Structure 1
């Protein structure tokens, strides 16, 4: 208990003791001495109380911060102990969920409706220390908030921010116009006229649901717990990450897919520069310069570049008379270079041409938002693999994609 609280309680006791003594019109000598003693103690306690408040100020601030973050940390601790093997055995054998896994599932069910077993997005991350053998697993990696679903995915490396939404649609207002500045031209003149603070809303809507089907054999179900735990998480992680990387950039916006960044460049207002030539550092330097002129980046170190492996192959030959290649110059200047065959379409045409994408984060705002709703809904199919004793489950995940500011992205096409 804090010292200030103890002093407050003692002050209340003194007041209660003084009340009947003061009400007596003819107090005895003992009562008078008691009044003087209590009055002296009360005044001394007032001084001690003020000193205690000063000393406990920092403790109170720390306690307040602890209360503000305790809920998120407690839930993160619960999710850290979520076991995918319990979900698989619940769907296969009907075995009841236990421990922290049961608490997380109950918490998710209270927030949304699910046909099957809800699985939090954090549980799909590959955890450090879990082995396929019978070794004892080490403590898993815990993330405080949902920021990146799969940090090693292309979308994550290109700066996409993962936003988990409980229900409904979410709009992200991004400022497009604001304060104006100007000097007073004369002693009696006015400064610059004010301009309206304007924002543009970028919405994420739960209109796109991805389905992932998994087959777990009877042998896998009977293996050791760590093996099944890692296998289920690894398969779901890979399946969702690969498709997420594809639709974030190449989603068609039709047939249930979100509209990807490259496919929907015109819709999002993203600049598309056709170089129509072999790739070199000069072409990418011009794109970085446009970022800097638009105040989206302070230099090439803050830019991320995504290319096809064929571009790396075409630029890794040594420059005539030099001991470096064009690729060496690109990789040395650009902050983060990502090669992918999944998030970019294969080169086509004659000569074969590819596409590249540059992104940057400005003012703490990610260039791409990827919204996920609730948790992954895992539903059992009891009939498809019944003859072999296997388990087939379908995982449903709702996602959407939007762009924060078009000026934070640029497409380079015509890379021959």
Structure 2
């Protein structure tokens, strides 16, 4: 019990005793001495009570600061002990979950409905192992980096949003404050315009399924062998498809509408180059960002290109005397240029041309939002591979993509990498 609470209770008892003694019009000498003793104790306790409150306030602040960080630290440590091996064995032969794995699964079940066993997204992080074979998890980072460190979506500034249930919207200002000078001494300044917003919703309408086959040999292996195999398979398969859908999702057949495929829907600016690719084409896009107050300079802009475009730029000599290529110029001014064959469609047409995407973060707001609902739902299929004694697992993940401010993105098309016939 806190000392302040103990003193407060004693003060209440003293007041009751004093009230009883004060009600006696002719107190005896013993009662008079009792009143003096109680009064002295009461005044002393008042000083002790104030001192106790001051001391306990400091303790509360320290404890509060510890609690604010403890929950996140403890959960991160709990996730580090999550074992996919337990999940696979539980689905295969009904083995009961225990330890940190059981605790996390129970917590996830309390926040959402799952047909199988829920697996947290953080459990897909790839882990290093020391010589003795003891798992040594890497440090926890923002969730999209922690899931897929090499994800092109993460490098292009996309932000992962964890959603428990329902739909999520981001209101974006489309019209607001205006400025204007007073034209005459008695005139009015420019009139106001209504403050307007547009909603950018994300809905749980797109579910990705990943199937894994675990052989009997794999399930009989001990330690981290099965653990790492499952992590690698799920991580690689989901990373590739989630990256592709973020940019090239068709918006049909269950896929979310990707950023590049849905350029017109998201109202993203299109810069039609339609000539041999050079740094000059990218420079025009950077200039458009700066004139639109979306970026302060080229260093804050991310660029996504195809490997074929890199090959062309690196071979296009800009200055024969110095040997500088167009790639040298591009990489110098746009250090955050990333190459992918997954987020952009293959070059096509005559002349052969490709596309590029430029993004930037403005005011702490990411150019792309990727919503992930709940956890991964891991479901058992014991029949498909029953004759071989294997187990087939299906992992279901629900995802959506949206763009909050299209001014933070720009698509460059018609970047020619070959001469026409």
Q: 1:23 to 1:29 in 2, by over 3 A?
A: same
- Greater shift after overlay, 198-207 or 148-157? 148-157
Unaligned runs of 5+ in 2: 417-421
Unaligned runs of 5+ in 1: none
1:272 aligns to 2:270 (yes or no): yes
| 8 Å contact kept, 1:214–1:394 | yes
Distance in 1, matches of 2:193 and 2:40, equals: 64
1:148–1:162 Cα contact (<8 Å) kept: no
Contact persistence 1:148–1:161 (CA under 8 A) = no
**Which residue of the partner structure matches residue 224 of structure 1?**
222
Which residue number in structure 1 is paired with residue 170 of structure 2? 172
Q: Could you give the per-residue CA deviations for residues 357-390 of structure 1, whole angstroms, max 9, x where no partner exists?
A: 0111112111111111111111122122222212
Q: Report deviation, 1:106.
A: 1.9
Change (3 A) 1:147 1:346: closer
Q: Measured at CA, do residues 73 and 172 of structure 1 come closer, stay the same or move farther in structure 2, by a change above 3 Å? A: farther
1:328 deviates by 2.5
Give the alignment's TM-score, normalised by structure 1: 0.90
- Give the structure 1 partner of residue 129 of structure 2: 130
| Number of residue-to-residue matches in the alignment | 414
For structure 1, which segment, 65-74 or 402-411, has the greater mean C-alpha deviation from structure 2 after superposition?
65-74
Shift in Å, 1:250: 0.6
Structure 1 residues 84 and 286, CA gap change in structure 2 (3 angstroms):
same
1:334/1:43 CA distance change after superposition, 3 Å:
farther
Q: Quickly say closer, same or farther: Cα 1:37–1:327, change in 2 above 3 A.
A: farther
Counterpart mapping for 1:3-402 below 5 A: 4-50=4-50, 52-54=52-54, 56-57=56-57, 59-64=59-64, 73-127=73-127, 129-130=128-129, 135-143=133-141, 149-185=147-183, 188-317=186-315, 318=317, 319-322=319-322, 324-402=324-402
- Deviation sequence 1:144-174 (CA, Å, 0-9, x none): 8678642321111111111122222221212
> What secondary structure sits across from 1:206 in the alignment?
coil
Partners in 2 of 1:29 and 1:328 — Cα distance?
102
Contact 1:146 1:164 in 2 (8 A): no
Distance 1:187 1:214, change over 3 A: same
2:381/2:394 contact within 8 Å kept: yes
Contact 2:122 2:146 in 1 (8 A): no
| 3-state SS in 1 of match to 2:129 | coil
1:274-309 Cα offsets, whole Å, 9 max, x none, are 112233322212211211222211211211111111
Determine if contact 2:140/2:146 at 8 Å carries over to the other structure.
no
TM (norm. structure 2) is 0.89
- Kept in 2, the 8 Å contact 1:168–1:206? The answer is yes
Distance 1:394 1:303 in 2: 38
Q: SS of 1:374's equivalent?
A: strand
